[in-house]
Amino acid sequence: MREGHAHVIHRHDYQAPTYWIATVDLTLDLDPAKTLVTSKLAVKRNANQPHGPLVLHGEELTPLRVMIDGEPVSFRQDGNELTIDAPDRDFELVIRNTCCPEKNTALSGLYTSGGGFFTQCEAEGFRRITYFLDRPDVMAVYTVTLRADKTKYPVLLSNGNLLEQGDLDGGKHFAKWHDPFPKPSYLFAVVAADLVAREQRIRTRSGKDHLLQVFVRRGDLDKTEHAMNSLIASIVWDEARFGLPLDLERFMIVGVSDFNMGAMENKGLNIFNTSALLASPATATDADFQRIEAIVAHEYFHNWTGNRVTCRDWFQLSLKEGLTVFRDREFSMDMAGSPSARAVQRIQQVRALRAVQFPEDAGSMAHPVRPDSYVEINNFYTATVYEKGAEVVGLYQTLLGREGFAKGLKLYFERHDGQAVTCDDFAQAMADANPGSQLASQLDLFKRWYSQPGTPRVTARGQYDAESHRYTLRLSQHNGKGELPQLIPVRMGLLGPEGQALPLQWEGELASHGSETVLLLEQTEQAFHFVNVLVEPTPSLLRGFSAPVLLDDGLSDAQLLNLLQHDSDAFNRWEASQRLALNRILGAVRAGQPLVLDAAYLDAMRAVLRHPQLDAAFKAEALRLPEAAYLAEQLQVVDPQAIHTAVEAAWTQIAQALRADWEWAFEAHQVSGGYRPSAEDAGRRALANLALSLLVRASTLSGEPVWPGKAYQRVKDADNMTERFGALAALVSAHAPLADAALAHFHAQFAHDALVIDKWFMLQARAPERDGKVFERVKKLLQHPDFTLKNPNRARSLLVQFCNFNPGAFHRADAGGYVLWADQVAHLDAINPQAASRLARAMDRWATLAEPFRGAAKVALQRLAERSTLSNDVREIVTKALE
């Protein structure tokens, strides 16, 4: 429904359907302009509900005929519903309809891309293929017959196992697939295209044989090795860590270049955005390799957490997403190996959480991990549901330990395999599998993590009594208005003045319990008493980021420096580095003064950079400044330009003051030998890239040609994309005179590779603003022949990167960024509402902006809201922003 009134759907209104569907027998005659769909359904009366008409979902479909038990029946079509007066018994329903894949630019349902057919059914795309009870609690067994032109579409795929295939008249062929596992319609998938596959046969622990296939366009086969390796590693890991085997004879992955998200876990037939699948050393960076490994794992892990046990309704989305992100994170950490590499993974997770989820949770789209209402479910595939949801799953593991968590997961599958369930069912299984645990005794308190929006603020203050050797730590929590206290595990330790770990001994106990513990904050305020503390300690709190909260620990610079140098917890060492930077940047912003970094800070950073034991990857993270979005969250009133100016000044001073150290770091972290995407090599490259970027920055400011020249040379002859792109980024972000030539060279070299050209757009959209040049460039790039709003990757590379992730360039006193945003949201919305609605979210936090930004942002929002043709997707975002 494009126009009309927003229909709000509430979690508490859930009702089981009047009918179930046991089997689906689907035939698709694939034609880009008019695909004919014949659907034969075994419909079962749900005796628990009163009898009523059968109301099926359907969108942008043309109905041809409807038959019950072989007899044509009448039906009413009203908006996106098809109503049939169905009998009060089981029956067979046959529906024939058509749809138009080539006009489907929304990329939901059945659509064409690169001359092939692909589907995307989560969340509500199946109803754009045929009329159905398109809701996740209706689970059916599917048999699917595909018919299509054999030359154009030699590969015909659907879920499950291939039963039959063969030729038909008129140059056509067919394939018949059967999926033995009952599944909700959102896991249905079809592919018909000219593709080739990398294949691998494996035998799993149980002794069963499986065929793994990765399908891509001809020419991309050499970029599928990493995905295949990641898939095999995921299969092995899930069996070893959680005892969850691959339940299919055949597991297929297909790449497609037009896709709204990263990838989709359709049963046995995962469909991937090529950006989340294809990698070669020449075209993908270390970060791409890492992301592909994580997404391949994520989709594979959904096979149990999502597919075998699915969601009762879409309010339960985090049941599968939070849990599966948690699982892919655990996998990535295990793959990374060393404790330091694990810590780096955790650091990157938290950086992303703070830059995206924290602002979301404080902005106009704030919602609990399990939302209570929505207008458009597509708007709730959010950082809160995914990333905060994963943090919440992590809390179970922190409370129960690894074994207790694994027991809980086992019970969850014993109870719910084959069912569509709720977040409450998951929590209950975790508690019941661990009787006597804190979780079991405080389950209701714990579940507030699902029901309350907002990021809890924890304040910690310590008090040391030198005479009695007592140390008292007072913790308090403040949640949003009207919200209740939550159960917050605070992993912690105490450090002495020389950084030594102090033994922890509770009041009333005779001995210490090691040097690390988890405090459970469950009330608004609590005090924890330690005894036998012989020296004044520095508390190291929230180690490993043990809960997704904002912590105010009031630590002094000296204490932060102590943690930075000595904490046994690598995460908190990093956190200290971030806090030292954050305090300085915010200090300058609040005072309205230019930032001047002090010698103590610069010396500390130099010590990190030169440290003989720390890993390069950790150093690169510790030396990076906090994200602008996270800095903004610390302020009541946000002037994005003031933050931008301070961050730029900080980078320049770090570049200049540590110049000799960066030169050393660059030379000392070159990787020799062939490219490997290992954590260790990637860490060296990350630090060398950071060094190069700061050297180019300092040189450009002083007009020295050597480092920009070296960077330019690297753009030309690096033998891997990580180094090449790092060098290009160094030139572009320093606004070096050679940047344009380097960009042109890079573009010419990769003109044929869409994923690399996406990077080229992204880099320019994300460049730090200088005198409006970035904004001007983005406007010009909108006219570039390679730019198109039709491909979501391309639209995202330029527009989302600029509007949502480049605050220093986007927020302009002349409102130019906002005008561009409103125009592009409107254009994109006419093509692809889901993509447009992500772009629309650039304004989530407009209300905290300082003037003149705030007023101008409001005008742009209002202008957009006035348009009569907005999709539900965009309208929901814009309406909430203006509420």
Which chain residues interact with ligand PHE by CB under 6 A?
120, 122-123, 260-261, 263-265, 298-299, 302, 321, 381
Q: Which is nearer to ligand PHE, 321 or 633 (CB)?
A: 321
Three-class secondary structure of residue 678 per DSSP = coil
For 677, counting Cβ atoms within 10 Å of its Cβ (0-12 exposed, 13-18 middle, 19+ buried), the class is: buried
Query: What is the residue type of 289?
Result: F
- The mark string for 295-334 relative to Zn ion (x by CB under 5 A, - otherwise) is --------------------------x--x----------
350, interface contact from ligand PHE, Zn ion, none, CB < 5-8 Å by kind: none
Q: How far is the CB of 156 from ligand PHE (least distance, A)?
A: 22
> Can you read off the two tokens belonging to residue 51?
């009898």
Q: How near is the Cβ of 273 to ligand PHE at its closest, in Å? A: 9
Query: Are 160 and 43 a contacting pair, CB within 8 Å?
Result: no
Cβ at position 270, least distance to ligand PHE in Å: 9
Q: Which is nearer to ligand PHE, 184 or 454 (CB)?
A: 184
Cα dist. 114→193, 258, 597 in Å?
Answer: 9, 8, 52
Given 59, 124, 299, 575, which residue is catalytic? 299
Smallest distance from ligand PHE to CB 871, Å: 16
Distance CA 864, CA 72 (A): 46
Written as six digits, the tokens of 527 are 């005090």
> Exposed, middle or buried by CB within 10 Å (0-12, 13-18, 19+), for 455?
buried
Write down the residue that tokens 């291939």 correspond to: 162
Our CB check for Zn ion shows the closer of 288 and 321 to be 321
CA nearest 799: which of 771, 827, 772, 773?
827
Among Zn ion, ligand PHE, none, partner that 263 touches (CB below 5 to 8 angstroms by kind): ligand PHE
| Beta-carbon contacts of residue 842 (< 8 Å; ≥ 6 apart) | 800, 803, 804, 810, 821
Tokens for 409? 């997961």
**Distance, CA of 558 to CA of 549 (rounded, Å):** 23
Rounded least distance, CB 792 to ligand PHE, Å: 11
Greatest Cα-to-Cα distance within the chain, rounded to the nearest angstrom: 95
Find which of Zn ion, ligand PHE, none residue 264 binds, CB within 5 to 8 Å per kind. Answer: ligand PHE
Distance between CA atoms of residues 495 and 501, nearest Å = 5
Q: In the complex with ligand PHE, which residue's Cβ is closer, 119 or 397? A: 119
From first CA to last CA, the distance across the chain in angstroms is: 22
Q: Residues 230-249: x/- map of binding to Zn ion (CB under 5 A)?
A: --------------------
Nearest residue to 878 via CA among 383, 452, 379: 379
Query: What does each C-alpha distance from 671 to 111, 176, 293, 720 come to in angstroms?
Result: 44, 50, 22, 11
Minimum gap (Å) between residue 216 Cβ and ligand PHE:
18
3 alpha carbon, distance to own chain's centre: 30
- Choose the contact partner of 120 out of Zn ion, ligand PHE, none; CB within 5 to 8 A by kind: ligand PHE
- What HEC string does 152-195 produce? CCCEEEECCEEEEEEECCCCEEEEEEEEEEEEEHHHCCEEEECE
CB 624 within 8 Å of CB 579? no
Measured between alpha carbons, how far is 531 from 207 in angstroms, rounded to an integer?
A: 56
- Minimum distance, C-beta of residue 611 to ligand PHE, in the bound complex (Å): 38
- Do the beta carbons of residue 421 and residue 312 sit within 8 Å? yes
Query: Contact, 266 vs 121, CB < 8 A?
Result: yes
Closest separation in Å from C-beta 374 to Zn ion: 18
C-alpha torsion 395→397→401→403, nearest 10: 160
Residue 299 catalytic? yes
Quote the crossing angle between the two packed helices 640-657 and 659-668, to the nearest 10°: 80
User: Binding residues for Zn ion, how many (CB under 5 A)?
Assistant: 2
Q: Which residue carries 């993509």 as its tokens?
A: 835
- Closest separation between CB of residue 302 and ligand PHE, Å? 6
Q: At closest approach, how far in Å is the CB of 276 from ligand PHE? A: 10
The option from Zn ion, ligand PHE, none interacting with 530 (CB < 5 to 8 A, set by class) reads: none
Closest residue to bound ligand PHE by CB = 261
Nearer to ligand PHE, 324 or 477 (CB): 324
> In Å, how far are 112, 443, 816 from 790, measured between CA atoms?
12, 47, 23
Q: Kindly tell me which of 328 and 360 has the beta carbon lying closer to Zn ion.
A: 328
* Contact partner at residue 699 from Zn ion, ligand PHE, none, CB < 5 to 8 Å by partner kind: none
Cβ proximity of 71 and 65 under 8 Å: no
Give the residue with the Cβ less far from ligand PHE, 310 or 689.
310
Distance separating alpha carbons of residues 451 and 367, to the nearest angstrom: 9
C-beta of 254 vs 605, nearer to Zn ion: 254
What does the alpha-carbon distance between residue 801 and residue 764 come to, in Å, rounded to a whole number?
A: 9
Q: Which does 128 bind (CB under 5 to 8 A by kind): ligand PHE, Zn ion, none?
A: none
For residue 633, the partner it binds in Zn ion, ligand PHE, none, with Cβ less than 5 to 8 A by kind, is: none
Residue 381 interface partner, choices Zn ion, ligand PHE, none, CB cut-off 5-8 Å depending on type: ligand PHE
CB of 68 to ligand PHE, least distance (A): 33
Please, which residue, 267 or 644, has the CB nearer to ligand PHE? 267
Which of the choices Zn ion, ligand PHE, none does residue 824 contact, using the CB cut-off of 5 to 8 A by kind? none
Q: Which CB sits closer to Zn ion, 258 or 321?
A: 321
Q: CB 121 → ligand PHE: shortest distance, Å?
A: 8
Is the CB of 270 or the CB of 837 nearer to Zn ion? 270
Task: Identify which of 542, 611, 613 has the alpha carbon closest to the alpha carbon of residue 579.
Answer: 542
Taken in order 388, 394, 400, 406, is the CA torsion positive or negative? positive
CB of 367 to Zn ion, least distance (A): 18
Q: Which one, 120 or 332, has the nearer CB to ligand PHE? A: 120
Angle between helices 286-302 and 225-242 (to 10 degrees): 50
DSSP single-letter state for residue 316: G
Closer by beta carbon to ligand PHE, 244 or else 738: 244
In the numeric block, which tokens belong to residue 37?
């769909």
Q: Token match 């300690």: residue?
A: 537
Give the whole-angstrom CA distance, residue 577 versus residue 200. 45
Binding region for Zn ion (CB under 5 A): 321, 324
Indicate which residues carry an active-site annotation: 299
